[in-house]
Chains A and B, each alone.
Chain A
Amino acid sequence: MSQPLVQAPQARSWRDIPQPVKPRAMSREGRWRLWSSLARVLTIVVVVIGVAWGVGLVVAALQENPQNMPAAARTVPVKNFLLKTNAEGVLDAAWLRPALALPKGATLMELDLQQLRARLLADGQVSVVNITRSFPDTLEVRIVERAPVARLHAQFGNGDERTLLVARDGVVFAGTGFEAARLDELPWLAGVKLARTGGQFAPIAGMNFVADLVAHARLETDQLYAMWQVISLARLQSDREIEVRTKPGTVIVFGTDSDFALQLAKLDYQWEMIAKLPTPPSKINLALGREVPVTFDALPAPSAASASGPVAVPAKPASAPLFSLFPNSQPKTKREL
């Protein structure tokens, strides 16, 4: 009923003429006005976004401040714990509850988040903690865990013995939630002394070298790494060397001043020849640059030695390098060595 009875066609009006013109049809003043008006619009948009962001910050701050929260929010006890960890993390909610040690019936607003954060960080396995109140009754915890690089057999004064884990940054931690198979793959760490600072173990220096060495070994020579048993840092400070003892008893010396990948490549090449010998060498030193001395406790049997050319050269006294990986290389001076 409210519609007109007749739908009359309407003639085109001047308002149907499209008004926008291309910038090239504009004068210099017109173009300047166009850009300045665009800049003005852009400025307004930026200001609006900035104001909205500021309001968001204020709201977030109000949520964080217990004084400004409604009383109802303060009286709800915490019921849920939400734990989010990094991709390689193994900790779970079962670990979280006792680690937080919340008093019974505590509400979100009663919690001291800084204190809770400190409690979680007391476990060396946790490197980063972020705790958020999610109203009405959920405590959201985001953590980043440390990955173990090596394990450590510690003996305490009271006779207790424990296996501890060491991370790349040298932090020593008990290691919760790791599978036994994963821990068995880790080499033992030797040649270090544990010191306590403030109820915790002080970080072990030089673990970054160990982490790099292990990472390269796992990636490039995994069959050799499988034989590694103990990594010693005893000579790290004095000679800048890391000693690795394998299951057959061979000690492999790595230098921290040269590339681990290159040293591992030399080892891999050399190990092909060594594997054919009846007796494993007692020491392989990769820390001397191009020269790689291989030391045997006893000379290999002639029949086995005849199979490989370099070993067949004149006999050397025991405990001296038997052959060099690069026999034609120029002799090095004492200083180079």
Chain B
Amino acid sequence: MSSSTTFIGAVEIGTSKTTVLVGEHSGRELTIIGRGECASRGVIKGSVVDYKAASDCTHAALEQAEREAGERIDLVFLAQTGAHLEGFYNEAAVNVKAADNMIDADDVRTVCDLARSKELPAGRMVVHNIRRPFRVDGRLVPAMPENLVGQRLEVGYWTVHGQEQRLADNIHVIRGFNLEVRELVLASLASGHMVTTPEERQHGVLAIDFGAGTTDFVLYRDGAAHTTGVVTVGGTHLTNDLSIGLRLTEQQAEKLKLRFGRASVVTKDKAEKVWLDGNFAIGDRQFSQQAIEQITAARTWELLEVVKKKLGNAFAPETCASGVVLTGGTAKLGGLAEAAARVFGVPAHLGEPPLWVSENLRDPGYHTALGLLYYGVSAQAEKSTGTRRRGGFLSGMKRLFANA
């Protein structure tokens, strides 16, 4: 093991389960070497409500992952979701100050600082500042605009912020295992990064992560995240609806949902029945297939409508050429892609991770944890590149002369 190798833990504390993946990052490549899972306790809709219970199950998953990896985790990338997360857009513009109108690093820094400078209400903290592409005199510039010529430089930031206490609770659960949280990543960004390609993000794509307690979404335009959001409705609500509608226990309803639930009604015959267990044992009951589909489809349809409503004007079929990509544990619900296509009016499909992801991690339930690793590593690499740039020899000389 070289000294530059880092063992990164990607932790998703979800409503139904806590997932931990261990990645071995050697600077250039990332290899997944361990996995740990535990049924979640003390977490409701992505927020920790029972510190002890949440800690116990998270630490159990971390221990399992470390045991499987055979290495100790050095740092953690933690997924963040929940109703407390909100976002807003803020933009700024500056006039290029050089006489020859060539944009320099100071112009870029100034406009970025201005665009990020909006103050938050008390008790709120920034989770992400997602930069949208620069514009030079109205012209879209996907990369850094340094050394381009123009008079006006504009940029906008989509800022995701959350409640301080909720964020601290999640971090302290990890710290309780004596691990440092190096990156806090929005769950939608993590899973969206995993199931969409750079080309799709460039053309515009909406990634929706259907979890057990929450549904996270991210809309990409021009290669960058444009809008993110969280709806505190997920797979457990479908189970709950079935439980109430068919008078079942939660376990029975969950079983029916997984076997017969659909996001669109395809069964025409009301008399078509399905067995609860199918083993003809005492207590086994029959239910109308159409009734099950109607209950799950209604809630799914409603959920998709809520997402569309939350996106508002940001979403338009013409700016979302790559359609909708679905992921998350609940995305395995039959007919969900068709329902999403009808609601959003664009093609929809179930998200697939890249081909190099091994078979046992291709389940949609792992997309967020996988994305955490890759998104987190990319973010770290960007930061270190930025640091090296600022600390370069020429920059140092420039600062020396400027101070003189």
Bitwise, A23-35 to B at CB < 8 A (1) or not (0) is: 0011101110110
Confirm or deny: A115 has a beta carbon within 8 angstroms of a beta carbon on chain B: no
Contact B114 A1, beta carbon cutoff 8 Å: no
With CB as the reference atom, state the residue of chain B lying closest to A21: B175
Confirm or deny: B273 has a beta carbon within 8 angstroms of a beta carbon on chain A: no
Contacts of A19 in B (CB 8 A): 171-172, 175, 180-181
Contact A2 B177, beta carbon cutoff 8 Å: no
- Stretch in contact with the other chain, from B134-142, B161-169, B256-264, B341-349: B161-169
Contacts of A65 in B (CB 8 A): none
A27's partner among B94, B109, B176, B402 (CB-CB below 8 A) is: B176
Q: Which of B60-80 contact A (CB under 8 A)?
A: 62-63, 72
Confirm or deny: B399 has a beta carbon within 8 angstroms of a beta carbon on chain A: yes
Bound-state Cα–Cα, A12 to B121, Å:
10
A10's partner among B59, B116, B162, B178 (CB-CB below 8 A) is: B116
Contact A21 B176, beta carbon cutoff 8 Å: yes
Shortest A204–chain B CB gap in Å is 68
Contact B176 A14, beta carbon cutoff 8 Å: no
Q: Which of B79-130 contact A (CB under 8 A)?
A: 94, 97, 106, 109-110, 113-114, 116-120, 124-127
A30's partner among B72, B176, B402 (CB-CB below 8 A) is: B176
Main secondary structure of the interface of A (DSSP, over half): loop
Known: A8-B113, A8-B117, A14-B162. Contact between A29 and B398, CB under 8 A?
no
Q: Which of B28-66 contact A (CB under 8 A)?
A: 51, 55-56, 59, 62-63
Interface size on A (CB < 8 Å)?
Answer: 28
Q: Which of A313-333 contact B (CB under 8 A)?
A: none
A14's partner among B97, B118, B126, B398 (CB-CB below 8 A) is: B126
Bitwise, B175-195 to A at CB < 8 A (1) or not (0) is: 111111100100000000000
Contact B56 A27, beta carbon cutoff 8 Å: yes
Contacts of A16 in B (CB 8 A): 125
Count chain B CB atoms within 10 A of each CB in A1, A8, A20, A31 and give the residue with the most. A8
Contact B116 A6, beta carbon cutoff 8 Å: no
B110's partner among A5, A9, A31 (CB-CB below 8 A) is: A5
Known: A27-B59, A30-B177. Contact between A14 and B184, CB under 8 A?
yes
7 inter-chain pairs at a CB distance below 8 angstroms, sorted by A residue, are: A12-B164, A13-B127, A14-B125, A14-B167, A25-B51, A26-B177, A33-B72
Residues of A at the B interface (CB closer than 8 Å) are: 1-14, 16-17, 19-21, 25-27, 29-31, 33-34, 37
